[in-house]
């Protein structure tokens, strides 16, 4: 059964623009302008899903997409690091930051480990491979990175070597048995 998954990174927020760990906030106004400009270029989808986060739901709205919330698309829970800059966390918790980058099972911030985010993504992709059709999924950089390394069979630590821009597309295709990365990093707007 043929399946296509188009993952769209949510629009930039104040936190992401300032190099902070994400908090639940709406996209910046410029993200609405950029997303709205390309809404008509998206291919028809059989289903549109969004992360529960305001950034993803706001991006879906800007794209004029009627989306259903899918919890498996949620951003990584960064626990007590949410809203803090990378520099702040590095200064306050250098051992925790080092563990987080080195070990996909580590969750020194008290939130989710990278491995848990990857498991959510793998479950979603397995489900979609069985359903077929085209799915548009509005989500965040970490779940998209995890999906890429899952499909490539790369070590989970490879997520830190992938840059996902706000409002970029990453597309996967499946023949029902395996997924392939079709395109990545295609910026919207």
Q: Rounded distance, CA 126 to CA 135, Å?
A: 13
Q: Rounded distance, CA 101 to CA 119, Å?
A: 17
Confidence tier at 2 by pLDDT (50, 70, 90): very high
Q: Rounded distance, CA 136 to CA 43, Å?
A: 9
Is 64 part of a structural domain of the chain? yes
Give residue-wise pLDDT tens across range 96-110. Answer: 999 999 999 999 999
Confidence tier at 188 by pLDDT (50, 70, 90): low
Is 93 part of a structural domain of the chain? no
Domain that includes residue 150, residue range: 3-77+112-187
Q: Spell out the residues 6+ positions from residue 45 whose beta carbon is closer than 8 angstroms to its own.
A: 6, 65, 133, 134, 135, 136
Q: pTM for this structure? A: 0.94
Is 68 part of a structural domain of the chain? yes
Is 181 part of a structural domain of the chain? yes
**Over the chain, what is the mean pLDDT?**
93
Q: Spell out the residues 6+ positions from residue 150 whose beta carbon is closer than 8 angstroms to its own.
A: 118, 121, 122, 125, 179
Average pLDDT over residues 46-71: 96
Q: Rounded distance, CA 142 to CA 22, Å?
A: 11
Is 102 part of a structural domain of the chain? no
Indicate the number of domains in the chain: 1
CATH number of the domain to which 147 belongs: 3.40.50.1240
């Amino acid at each position: 059964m043929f399946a296509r998954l188009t993952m769209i990174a949510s629009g930039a927020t104040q936190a992401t623009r300032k190099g902070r760990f994400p908090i639940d906030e709406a996209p910046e106004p410029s993200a609405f302008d950029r997303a709205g400009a390309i809404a008509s270029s998206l291919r028809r989808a059989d289903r549109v899903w969004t992360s529960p986060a305001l950034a993803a739901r706001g991006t879906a709205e800007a794209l004029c997409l009627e989306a259903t919330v899918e919890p498996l698309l949620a951003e990584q829970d960064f626990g007590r690091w949410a809203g803090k800059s990378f520099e702040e966390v590095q200064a306050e918790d250098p051992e925790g930051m080092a563990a987080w980058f080195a070990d996909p099972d580590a969750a020194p911030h008290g939130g989710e480990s990278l491995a848990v985010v990857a498991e959510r993504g793998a479950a979603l992709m397995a489900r979609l491979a069985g359903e077929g059709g085209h799915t548009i999924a509005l989500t965040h950089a970490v779940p998209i990175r995890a999906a890429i390394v899952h499909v490539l069979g790369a070590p989970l630590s490879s997520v830190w070597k992938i840059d996902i821009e706000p409002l970029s597309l990453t597309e996967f295709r499946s023949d029902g048995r395996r997924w392939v990365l079709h395109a990545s990093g295609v910026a919207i707007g």
